[in-house]
Every structure is written in C-alpha cells, then in structure tokens.
Amino acid sequence: MPFKKGNQEGQVHTLMVPRSGEVIGLVTKAQGASNFLVMCSDKNERTCSIPGRLKRRFWIKEGDIVLVQPWVVQSDKRGDIIWRYSIMDKGLLEKKGFEIPK
C-alpha cells in the first residue's frame, strides 16, 4: 500500500484579498531581525516587520509578494506583514485586478 501524505482531494485554496487599509507589496530587501524593505502597491516603500504571533508561521525572502497592514502612526513608512502569497497566487491577484509592484 503506497504512503499518502495528507488528503489532497477536496481541498479548496482561498485567496487572501486586501481589505480596507491593507496593500500588496513586494519584498525588496531583508534587513534582519524580521524586518524587511517592501515596495507597496500605493507607491510607498515601507520598513515592515512580522508580528510576533506570525513569526514562526511563514518564512519570507526577497522577491516574495506579501500583504502589508500599514501602521496607524507613520503609515507611509512602517507596516506589518500579515500574509505571504505563493507563486500561484500572483497570477490570481493580477486576474482579479490587483496591482503588484515590480
């Protein structure tokens, strides 16, 4: 009997779309200590960090597409990374009309 790793049938992939106040961004540089330089779709370059509750949930590297929630204070300079999109999600986001920075 072959070994199966999880049940892949019937799984539905849901796409995280930006809510109000959230923007899509492209990680341009890793600055260390879970801080990243992100070029956002609203033409602002933000220093973003991963909140502690999400720190071990996903690994981010340069070139990844992420969902950014700008801070209330310094909203054009700082933000939190709340989601990392997969490679397949890039095409789906473009198909839905969201702008992805280059």
Please say whether the beta carbons of 61 and 30 come within 8 A: yes
**Letter for the amino acid at 91?**
G
**Residue 11 confidence (pLDDT):** 65
Please say whether the beta carbons of 69 and 83 come within 8 A: no
pTM, full prediction: 0.84
Residues forming beta bridges with residue 30, ordered by sequence position? 36
**Residue 4 confidence (pLDDT):** 44
Residue-by-residue pLDDT tens, the chain, 102 positions: 444 444 555 566 788 999 999 999 999 999 988 999 999 999 999 999 999 888 888 889 999 999 999 999 999 999 999 999 998 899 999 999 999 998
**Which of 3.40.720.10, 1.10.357.10, 3.20.20.150, 2.40.50.140 would CATH assign to domain 23-88?**
2.40.50.140
**Residue 7 confidence (pLDDT):** 53
Place of tokens 């071990």: 56
For the chain, the domains span 23-88
